Amino acid sequence: MTQTGVAPLPADFFPADCPVQSVPVLGSRKWAWKIIRCLEDGPRRFSELRVPLSGITAKVLAESLRSMEQDGVVARTEYAENPPRVEYALTSLGRTLLGPMDAVCEWSRENLGALLEARLEYERQGH
């Protein structure tokens, strides 16, 4: 037992069959969730994505889309037109993230006030 009265955490606490750290879409990519939301209703062109994602640079958007394409979450389709046209869309794998994202959004709506109040209280205590 530890000082807290709970058993110590084992070195293999995170099971090998739960590779949460290798699923970058779940949080380590700042813009991924917003890009997924932008693509929820169908394919979009790069310039269309820049409108709601006004805080992102073209370089970072391109890198994010390329990374999400590499993960199999986004598909990039080039059309042989003049001028050339490229669209981005969620893959079937990418669409599976919408349900978990909805759950996180719902949790946020229900708990954001309490979370912000906890932060204020922490600051009031001088931490």
- The per-residue pLDDT for 6 is 81
* Regions in the chain scoring below 70 on pLDDT: 1-4, 9, 13-15, 17-28
**Cis? peptide before 100, omega within 30° of 0:** no
- The C-alpha R_g of the chain, in whole angstroms, comes to 20
Contact (CB, 8 A) for 49 and 35 = yes
- The per-residue pLDDT for 47 is 92
pLDDT in tens, 68-78: 999 899 999 99
- The per-residue pLDDT for 124 is 95
What ranges make up the beta strands (E) of the chain? 44-45, 74-79, 85-90
- The per-residue pLDDT for 14 is 65
Q: Six-digit token pair at 37? A: 């939301």
Contact (CB, 8 A) for 50 and 65 = no
